[in-house]
Amino acid sequence: MSPIHVRGKPGDVAERVLLPGDPGRAEWIAKTFLDEPVVYNTHRGLLGYTGRYRGVPISVQTTGMGAPSASIVAEELVQLGARVLLRVGTCGAVDGALAPGDLVIAQGAVPLDGATRQYLGGLPYAPVPDPSLFRALWAKAEERGYPHHVGLVATEDAFYATTPEAARAWSRFGVLAFEMEASALFLLGRMRGVKAGAILTVSNRIGDPELAPPEVLQEGIRRMVEVALLALLEV
Ligand SMILES: O=P(O)(O)O[C@H]1O[C@H](CO)[C@@H](O)[C@H]1O
Ligand SMILES: O=c1cc[nH]c(=O)[nH]1
């Protein structure tokens, strides 16, 4: 029987899964990087593909935007046999050292979102990625020489609610960037016994909706996916 939202069958989803928020990015990743990609889900626009990268089965599954959607998708992927969940997303920079198109490897995600709070029943918690996946991402980004930053991100619900002033306050505690899914994925990784991680591309400055120039963003995303796929082969 298929899950309610990700309507694959057991065997459709690989153990290793890349998780972009955007279905367009999922399609691009599948068609650009995977051999013989096959689509297993289109329901609700949550496009999911499985193919091979350097001979290893890999799936690419859209999460949609925000931790409520991402947590549904993650739970259902685990039901379908996924064992490694790696977010490949975009983020808004808080720290002045981050440039558009740079990569951010999340060492932890401050859980400002409601989905993580609901799972935890309000308990304080520190969502962190699987250490082996985190180490592999960091090593591959260094190896390739792509500009990257390692540290905390904050996971928020309301994209337009965060002001530059609020973001600056978080930067005093080491937050590099804001995004909308990582904390719930890290928590679910621990709760369901699977490896979870996140690598992001800087798409804008927080509080400024103007995106990085398209060619800068696209090259950052290409580098992010390359690093992510190489890291997936290591875990
Ligand atoms: O580019 P994606 O992976 O969707 O990630 C970021 O972009 C969306 C907001 O624009 C949110 O999902 C946020 O986390
Ligand atoms: O959550 C997010 C993601 C990308 N850019 C932002 O400003 N916020």
Q: What's the angle, vertex CA 141, arms to CA 58 and CA 35, rounded to 5?
A: 25
- pLDDT given for residue 112 in this prediction: 97
Q: Give the number of whichever ligand sits closest to the CA of residue 69.
A: 1
Local confidence band at 78 (pLDDT 50, 70, 90 cut-offs) = very high
Q: What is the per-residue pLDDT for 207?
A: 79
- CA 200 – ligand 1 centroid, Å: 9
> If you search the block for the tokens 């992001």, which residue do you land on?
200
Q: Model confidence at 1, in pLDDT bands (50, 70, 90)?
A: confident
State the pLDDT at residue 95. 87
Q: Is 65 in the pocket of ligand 1 (CB under 6 A)?
A: yes
The pLDDT value recorded for residue 39 is 98
For the stretch 90-138, pLDDT in tens is 999 998 899 999 999 999 999 999 999 999 999 999 999 999 999 999 9
- Quick one: pLDDT at residue 23? 98
* Measured distance CA(109)–CA(176) in Å, rounded: 10
Mean pLDDT across the chain, nearest whole number? Answer: 97
> Can you tell me the mean pLDDT for 76-86?
98
Kindly report, residue by residue over 186-235, the tens digit of the pLDDT: 999 999 999 999 999 999 999 787 899 999 999 999 999 999 999 999 99
Atom of ligand 2 nearest to the CA of 208: 7
Q: How far apart are CA 20 and CA 228, in angstroms?
A: 11
Please name which ligand lies nearest the alpha carbon of 21: 1
The atom of ligand 1 lying closest to the CA of 89 is 3
Q: Decide: 90 in ligand 1 pocket, CB within 6 A.
A: yes
Mutate which of 90, 185, 199 to test ligand 1's pocket (most atoms within 8 Å of Cβ)? 90
Number of the ligand closest to the Cα of 212:
2
- Per-residue pLDDT at 3 exceeds 90: yes
Number of the ligand closest to the Cα of 106 = 1
Ligand 2: centre distance to CA 21 (Å): 11
pLDDT of residue 218: 98
Fold category of 16-233 in CATH: Rossmann fold (3.40.50)
Distance (angstroms) between ligand 2 centre and the Cα of 55 equals 34
**pTM of the model as a whole:** 0.98
Residue 109 near ligand 1, beta carbon < 6 Å: no
CA dist 132 and 13 (Å) reads 22
Q: Per-residue confidence at 83, pLDDT binned at 50, 70, 90?
A: very high
| pLDDT for position 209 | 75
Between vectors from CA 73 to CA 92 and to CA 45, what angle results, nearest 5°? 80
Q: Which of 69, 98, 159, 201 to mutate to test the pocket of ligand 2 (most atoms within 8 A of CB)?
A: 159
**Which residue's CA is minimally distant from atom 12 of ligand 1?**
65
Residue 113 Cβ < 6 Å to ligand 1: no
| Alpha carbon distance 143, 66 (integer Å) | 31
